[in-house]
Amino acid sequence: MSTTEEAKRTRRRWIGFGETIAVIGVAISAAALWKTWDSGDKPAVVVEKRQPIPLTLRAKAQNDGRTLEISPVEPGHALQSLAITLGGTTIAVGSDGDLAADDVEKALKDRDENKGAHSAPVRIAARYVEAGADRRGGGSYVLRYRVEGGGLFGSRSLRLVSLSRG
């Protein structure tokens, strides 16, 4: 009879232990429910933010090379100011991005170049707006141009061709 009595006690001990574990689990679940219920009114925090895109410029010759329209490649960038340093001379282009061939010709007045295609390294400094924030950018580019020989009186003219990263 002692073995059956002993078995009943062991069984009761395990039932008490299991009930204790179940009560602890219910308490943890209730605490988790209360925490989620309490924090439901707070707005969600965005963890991933959009990274800024560096400024890259492109150019298109207009008016038979008399002007070069410089604009950002990324449509989300808006130019505020643009300055081109060429041969020690800084040309302020402005926010419209139109570089005149006459300005380049004045900056290159010391060079005696023949007819044909030429290129010159330039340094561009720009201020632009991206996603509502003011940013600065620029870099080293190569300005390509051609010198055309004069007509009846031998005058020469400079025509802008392109601008590329260099």
pLDDT in tens, 107-125: 888 777 778 888 889 999 9
87 and 25 within one domain = no
Calculate the alpha carbon distances from 83 to 16, 29, 57, 69 in Å: 82, 64, 13, 13
Q: What is the dihedral of CA 72, 73, 76, 81, to 10 degrees?
A: -10
42 and 75 within one domain = no
The Cβ of residue 152 has, within 10 Å, a number of other Cβ atoms equal to 5
Number of domains the chain is built from = 2
Q: Can you give the pLDDT at residue 142?
A: 92
- The pLDDT tens digits for 60-118 are 988 888 899 988 888 888 888 899 998 888 889 888 888 888 888 888 887 777 788 88
Flag whether pLDDT at 53 surpasses 90.
Answer: no
Assign 39 a pLDDT band (cuts: 50, 70, 90): low
In terms of DSSP bridges, do strands 116-130 and 133-148 run parallel, antiparallel, or are they unpaired? antiparallel
142 and 70 within one domain = yes
Q: What is the dihedral of CA 9, 12, 17, 18, to 10 degrees?
A: 150
70 and 26 within one domain = no
Q: What is the mean pLDDT of residues 150-161?
A: 73
83 and 17 within one domain = no
Question: Which residues form the domain of 8?
Answer: 1-48
CA 145 to chain centre: 29
133 and 84 within one domain = yes
75 and 154 within one domain = yes
Q: Can you give the pLDDT at residue 56?
A: 86
143 and 90 within one domain = yes
pTM beyond 0.75: the answer is no
Calculate the alpha carbon distances from 121 to 26, 57, 66, 136 in Å: 74, 15, 19, 20
Both tokens of 28, joined, read 């943890």
The Cβ of residue 85 has, within 10 Å, a number of other Cβ atoms equal to 15
69 and 151 within one domain = yes
Phi, psi (degrees; rounded to nearest 5) at 87: 60, 35
Q: Can you give the pLDDT at residue 6?
A: 81
CA 88 to chain centre: 29
- The pLDDT tens digits for 123-153 are 999 999 888 888 888 889 999 988 887 656 6
